[in-house]
Amino acid sequence: MMTSLRCVIPVVKSPRDYQAYRISPRDSNRLAIVFEPSSANASLTYCVEIFDVGGKTPPNRHLYATEMFFILKGEGRAHCDGKSVQIKAGDSILVPPTGTHVIENTGSSRLYALCIMVPNEDFAELIRSGTPVELDEEDLAVLYRKDALVPC
């Protein structure tokens, strides 16, 4: 029996392609969308969340979605359902559905986290409903990992 194979071409984006938003004018964090349902052809949202010094998310929860964070740079605290843990670059956080959670920057510089939500649960639409903002040179240096390069 012969089966037909199809070639799937991956979608590749660089930090200059990311669209960033501040959901509410009072928010102290920004979200740069990397992939969303329309570009991933799947019910997920993958973004980079950038927290200003002292910044944090408002308390939030998701009915069905699992949210995952990987800390790229900085330090802070993750709170979920009354529990709190210190976080730093290299740490991963998994928030199950219905967990009321907050991520906050407790460090002296910006906190950067990869954030993945599955299923999307209208997260990408919420982000896009906010105010578009630009990623600055500090953001791009982190996302391109220029801050990790060792000079020759």
Q: Examine residue 132 and state whether it is found in any structural domain, yes or no.
A: yes
Residues 13-36 pLDDT 10s = 899 999 999 999 989 999 999 999
Query: What's the count of helices (H) and strands (E) in the chain, helices before strands?
Result: 3, 10
pTM: 0.89
How far, rounded to the nearest angstrom, does the alpha carbon of residue 128 sit from its chain's CA centroid?
A: 14
Q: Examine residue 11 and state whether it is found in any structural domain, yes or no.
A: no
Contacts of residue 70, Cβ cutoff 8 Å, sequence gap at least 6? 91, 92, 93, 113, 114
pLDDT given at position 80: 95
List the CATH number of the domain containing 42: 2.60.120.10
How far, rounded to the nearest angstrom, does the alpha carbon of residue 16 sit from its chain's CA centroid?
A: 16
Question: What is the spatial distance between Cα 35 and Cα 56, in angstroms, rounded to a whole number?
Answer: 22
Q: Examine residue 91 and state whether it is found in any structural domain, yes or no.
A: yes
Residues 121-147 pLDDT 10s = 999 999 999 999 999 999 999 999 876
Q: Examine residue 88 and state whether it is found in any structural domain, yes or no.
A: yes
**Helix spans in 1-152 (H):** 37-40, 123-128, 137-143
